[in-house]
Chain A
Amino acid sequence: MPKASVTFQDIGVTVTVPAGTRLIEVSEKVGAGITYGCREGECCTCLTRIVSGHEHLAAPSVLEDQVLKDNLAPRRHRLACQAQILGGNIVVQPA
């Protein structure tokens, strides 16, 4: 299975993950500071800044796009509960 790496800048931890994993799954397990609420892409609690490697995440769904827009999310921000890791190296920080 293809692998990717995600670095959580706030706790200085890099995790090697299988492709297809959602950011929130890794964040929770590693104890990073990304917080979450509904886990269904509605509440925007898990807004996350993608410091680098944005292109290695699956494109946001229509729903995620709408929620990001409604909550005035800056560029290069994603919902951790929705963003799926495709490969490569990604660096993230809680928004």
Chain B
Amino acid sequence: MCNRLAAVHIPAASPMKERMRASANPESALAVAPGVHWIGAFDPDLRSFDIILRTANGTSYNAYAVRGSEGVAVIDTVKLGFSETFFRRLESVAEYDEITTIVLNHLEPDHSGALPELLRRAPGAKLHVSPQARLMLKGLFDPGEFADRIVSVGTGDSTGLGDRRLEFFNTPYLHWPDTQCTWLAAEGILFSADFLGCHYCDTRLFNDAVGDFRFSFEYYYAHIMRPFRAHVRDALDLIEPLPIKVIAPGHGPILRNDPRDYVARYRALSAPGLHGASTKTLLVFYISAYGATRRMAEAVAAGAESASTAAGEVRVSLYDLEGGHAQPFVDLIEEADALVFGSPTINGDAVKPVWDLLSSLTMVDVKGKLGAAFGSYGWSGEAVPMIEDRLRRLKLRVPVLGVKARLTPTADEFSACHDLGRQVALHLLGRAVPRTIDMANLV
């Protein structure tokens, strides 16, 4: 159930009761500021979102109506199944022929489900989306009949509602390429889409009235925003100078009490950590059945160490995957510059702990890091190329061909491991010797 407190007895003079009076009638719009209403929908029973997220409190699909002297803007819509509620709330604060502006800050179906119908019901409204969203719209529905009503907007663009203006900020990859924020300067309200949101359904709606949602806020950042933390920082650069009074996100509580605390929290969460920028970090992860891959890992690490001409140039670390959980390793990987994985081949594949870690890396930004692989095998040795392929698919650079050794590695194979580590480290330091190869020799 949603966090409704209606069943709880509350004394007449209780501040909680005052807050309850302000909480949502299931069918009415909620005032956020003069002329600004929440017209979204509550989904208290949702327990799994986008497959990858769990929620103990359901979620809300937040949409807003902003009234100006010469028109009404609707900012975002709701998931398709909640359209009826959304339209009822919208109709309680505006007529369709008053709607001049529709803004879709994010195209994902939980925000755009009611969009085609809204465009039909409000034929005088122009749809304002980011340039990326315009390209993606056709994947969502056939925008043909609305094509001449779609306006691309970016940072610096705005649209008027008479006495009020909506300004746009292009904030891509929070968490889709299309995402943007919309700023209502007259009231100091930032409509931020998924940015600064969370899955937490509470009909009291405002952050000073709802239950404790800190866990949901952090969990949402960790699973949705974290892979895009460089983009989070770019967006924060844009919005931090604004005199924000209210943050109105696409999910979860509206942040009207100390909204800047949430901005500051995102700044802290998205900041690079651990080591100084001048130190490169190379991590070697391995798992070994009889010790062969472990000894190869040690040779790779020693080779990487040997590339440093001065102490501290490359910090090399060695981890046995058998002795750790994926999550702390993911935290390390987020900050690392190069990742080298060692796995034996068992039944024609790399082993599960390696895949468990590699499949966890979509939670962090690994694009552009260096990657490499090595491992011992019995008769076929598929693990190394499979890991290399996965690293490429994760958008790492894999500049050095991996090393495979049959059963017990020979001295030459240990030497090749040493060279693998050294070459990766040299690439990291920008000191790799340029090579020329023929495409026919590439696997």
Question: Residues of A with Cβ closer than 8 Å to B?
Answer: 5, 7, 10-18, 21, 26, 28-33, 35, 42-43, 67, 70-72, 94
Contacts and interface: CB of A to CB of B under 8 A. Distances in A.
Given A18-B439, A28-B392, A13 B434 contact: yes
A17 B135 contact: no
Q: Name the interface size band of chain B.
A: 20 to 34
Nearest to A30: B442
A67 B135 CA distance: 9
A12 B437 contact: no
Contact of B397 (A29, A31, A43): A31
A31 B436 contact: no
Contacts, number: 67
How would you classify the secondary structure of chain A's contact residues: helix, strand, loop or mixed?
mixed
Interface of B: 131-132, 134-135, 177, 367-368, 371, 388, 392, 395, 397-400, 427, 432-439, 442-443
A8 to B, nearest CB: 9
B384 to A, nearest CB: 13
B68 to A, nearest CB: 30
19 contacts: A11-B397, A11-B427, A12-B399, A12-B434, A13-B399, A13-B434, A13-B436, A14-B434, A14-B437, A15-B437, A29-B442, A30-B442, A31-B388, A31-B397, A31-B400, A32-B399, A43-B177, A70-B135, A72-B131
Contact of B439 (A7, A12, A17, A72): A17
Nearest to A35: B395
A27 to B, nearest CB: 9
B168 to A, nearest CB: 15
Contacts of B392: 28, 31
Given A17-B439, A70-B134, 7 more contacts: A13-B434, A29-B442, A29-B443, A33-B397, A35-B367, A70-B131, A70-B135
Contacts of A32: 397, 399
